[in-house]
């Protein structure tokens, strides 16, 4: 409370009021201003942080409820979870289309997008299966692109310690109703430890066109990244190479209907012993298709009916998992009523059918009410589910066994919160949330020397609280503080050892500062502190500085305090990192 009062004093006075026109699309059926959302949603503006970020994963770690567990810098191999869910319980989206990997959640952040392609990131916390289907148990992260506003060409190059070498190029062309952007990014490192080297190449093309029918958006993306995987999956000197292809088409069919199609191909070459590939080598190839049609219907001035259908299909060919495929189909309907600045209400229902004539029903309910122009109460409840991945079902190696008898995991999520805007430039939030899981999927073992076995866990309970305060100080500074506390019950394990379910942070805090300084200087700092059960807490401090203009020098300083820490147990992260470079704007803004 003292902190909020202090921020009030700093931002109060003769500051002009701001337009609150930020739009949120994740977890709702059509775009609404952020302050009108009934769900817990965090939005990060990526377009204004390109020089102050090294990779897309730098943006998602600005929320304390997001647990980013990396094995290497730059998102080369990382797991993502929200509110204590496992990495398979978070749905990753690109423009609302699914990017999750049906082989394993370890590949969910194999994003085939250079940083420059994304304009903003939206993080939905809590159940999202009513709108998106499987995997949105803990929440969803949506990476959103947009059409370039002007033609231009930018080149970027950088180098740093640990043998880091980076190059990027972005070419944009805008002609009337047509806009095109081509982006390429290369990132190389010889590694801060033996067998921790990596290469990363990303390519993307986005095309936007407006016709009498409506807006058309086409995206093509590819990512290729081999990396040394020392101790990533146990005490082995492993090596891995993953490649991702993604294509999508979105088409408006008049003002009230939208159709979308997506295709994703992902390959994974895994070598258990890098210097002895003949001992154990796996090759996996996954293909996924999705088609979605969404429509809305006006029932009145403040009431809309939303409905739609989607079809999904995926298949895998693997030397370890075998050849498998599955298809699912779903339909949903939702009623949304809102009087802006007063109250809102949304109720939705989705039924998803999958193999064996089985189905999953996912209802949701949310609402909000403004008690005054500065105080809002909101609450939501929803049911989510996740189908087992192919690795959960069929994987086998010397240390791990899947189980073809796994059932889908299901969860009910609830949250209630209050938003407080005492002055125009200050926003505070407090949320309490609870999740009740049935048949949660985890890997367990009976003793420390046993192998890990995939299994369903009966009843799991997680309860937590989120607190946040954000303030604009003057015209050039923004400060944001976020804290999340979380606890879960272990009774359902019955003495078994768990591999993933209870690795969540019990306490997590993030403080960030961003500023526009004299001399066209830009700066962003982040301090993140994490405490996991049974492990010592650690804090990581990052600082990013850049200068605007046609030639834009920048400096990225990561882990300034040289903290020794592990986000994945047994996989050390690098110490102090320094990367410096230039971005050159040949033409355009």
pLDDT given at position 459: 85
d(CA 56, CA 526) in angstroms, rounded, equals 15
d(CA 485, CA 83) in angstroms, rounded, equals 9
Residue 185 pLDDT exceeds 50: yes
Of the listed ranges 34-38, 100-104, 427-431, 453-457, the least confidently predicted one is 34-38
Q: With the C-alpha atoms ordered 297, 299, 302, 306, is the resulting torsion angle positive or negative?
A: negative
pLDDT given at position 18: 42
pLDDT given at position 492: 58
d(CA 86, CA 339) in angstroms, rounded, equals 37
Q: How far is CA 256 from the centre of its chain?
A: 28
User: Strand, helix or coil at 114?
Assistant: coil
Where do the domains of the chain lie? 2-12+33-587
Residue the block writes with tokens 């006075």: 13
**Backbone torsions φ then ψ of 17, nearest 5 degrees:** -70, 150
| pLDDT tier for residue 23 given thresholds of 50, 70 and 90 | confident
The average pLDDT across 306-330 equals: 95
| pLDDT tier for residue 182 given thresholds of 50, 70 and 90 | very high
Neighbours of 273 (CB within 10 A): 14
**Going along 299-404, which residue ranges are E strands?**
303-318, 322-339, 343-354, 358-372, 375-386, 396-397, 400-401
- What CATH topology corresponds to 2-12+33-587? Maltoporin; Chain A (2.40.170)
Residue 21 pLDDT exceeds 80: no
Q: Are residues 10 and 423 in contact, defined by beta-carbon separation less than 8 angstroms?
A: no
pLDDT given at position 2: 40
Residue 587 tokens read as 């033409």
Residue 9 pLDDT exceeds 70: no
Q: What is the mean pLDDT of the chain?
A: 90
Q: What is the pTM of this model?
A: 0.93
Of the listed ranges 74-88, 141-155, 195-209, 552-566, the least confidently predicted one is 74-88
pLDDT: which is higher, 354 or 322: 322
Q: Are residues 436 and 409 in contact, defined by beta-carbon separation less than 8 angstroms?
A: no
| CA distance to 225, 271, 275, 282, per residue, from 278 (Å) | 22, 9, 9, 10
| CA distance to 109, 115, 248, per residue, from 184 (Å) | 18, 9, 18
d(CA 581, CA 573) in angstroms, rounded, equals 23
pLDDT: which is higher, 17 or 101: 101
Residue 300 tokens read as 């009145």
Half-sphere exposure of 296 (CA within 13 A, CB side): 17
**Residue 133 CB-density burial (10 A; 0-12 exposed, 13-18 middle, 19+ buried):** buried
């Amino acid at each position: 409370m003292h902190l909020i009062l202090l921020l009030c004093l700093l931002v109060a006075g003769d500051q002009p009021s701001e337009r609150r026109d930020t739009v949120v699309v994740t977890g709702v059926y059509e775009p609404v201003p952020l302050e009108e959302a009934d769900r817990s949603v965090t939005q990060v503006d990526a377009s204004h942080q390109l020089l102050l970020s090294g990779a897309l994963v730098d943006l998602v770690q600005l929320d304390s409820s997001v647990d980013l567990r990396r094995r290497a810098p730059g998102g080369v191999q990382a797991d993502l979870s929200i509110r204590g869910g496992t990495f398979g319980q978070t749905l990753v989206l690109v423009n609302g289309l699914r990017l999750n990997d049906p082989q394993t959640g370890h590949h969910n952040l194999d994003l085939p997008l250079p940083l420059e392609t994304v304009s903003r990131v939206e993080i939905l916390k809590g159940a999202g299966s009513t709108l998106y289907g499987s995997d949105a148990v803990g929440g969803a992260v949506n990476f959103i692109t947009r059409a370039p506003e002007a033609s231009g060409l930018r080149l970027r190059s950088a180098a740093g310690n640990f043998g880091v070498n980076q190059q990027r190029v972005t070419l944009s062309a805008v002609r009337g109703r047509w806009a095109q952007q081509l982006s390429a990014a290369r990132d190389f490192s010889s590694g801060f430890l033996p067998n921790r080297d990596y290469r990363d190449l990303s390519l993307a093309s986005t095309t936007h066109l407006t016709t009498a029918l409506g807006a058309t958006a086409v995206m093509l993306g590819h990512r290729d990244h081999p990396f040394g995987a020392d101790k990533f999956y146990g005490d082995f000197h492993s090596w891995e190479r993953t490649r991702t292809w993604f294509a999508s088409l979105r088409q408006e069919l008049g003002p009230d209907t939208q159709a979308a199609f997506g295709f994703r191909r992902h390959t994974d070459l895994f070598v258990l012993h890098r210097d002895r590939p003949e001992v154990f080598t796996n090759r996996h190839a996954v293909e996924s298709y999705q088609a979605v049609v969404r429509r809305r219907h006006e029932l009145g001035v403040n009431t809309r009916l939303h409905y739609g259908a989607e079809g999904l299909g995926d298949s895998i060919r693997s030397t370890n998992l075998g050849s498998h495929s599955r298809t699912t189909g779903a339909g949903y309907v939702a009623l949304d009523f809102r009087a802006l600045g007063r109250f809102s209400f949304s109720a939705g229902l989705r039924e998803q059918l999958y193999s064996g004539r089985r189905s999953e029903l996912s209802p949701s309910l949310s609402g909000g009410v403004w008690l005054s122009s500065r105080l809002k109460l909101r609450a939501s409840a929803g049911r989510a589910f996740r189908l087992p991945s192919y690795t959960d079902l069929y994987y086998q190696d010397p240390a791990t066994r899947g189980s073809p008898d796994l059932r889908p995991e299901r969860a009910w999520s609830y949250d209630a919160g209050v938003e407080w805007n005492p002055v125009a430039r200050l926003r505070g939030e407090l949320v309490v949330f609870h999740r009740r899981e049935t048949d949660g999927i985890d890997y367990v073992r009976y003793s420390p020397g046993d192998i890990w076995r995939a299994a369903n866990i009966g009843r799991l309970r997680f309860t937590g609280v989120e607190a946040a305060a954000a303030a604009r100080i003057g015209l050039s500074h923004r400060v944001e503080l976020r804290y999340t506390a979380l606890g879960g019950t272990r009774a359902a394990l019955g003495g078994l050892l768990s591999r993933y379910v209870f690795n969540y942070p019990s306490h997590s805090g993030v403080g960030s500062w961003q500023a526009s300084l004299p001399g066209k200087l830009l700066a962003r700092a982040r301090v993140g502190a994490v405490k996991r059960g049974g492990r010592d807490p650690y804090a990581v401090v990052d600082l990013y500085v850049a200068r605007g203009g046609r030639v834009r020098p920048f400096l990225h300083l990561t882990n300034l305090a040289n903290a020794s820490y592990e986000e994945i147990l047994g996989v050390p992260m690098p110490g102090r990192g320094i990367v410096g470079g230039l971005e050159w704007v040949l033409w355009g803004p």
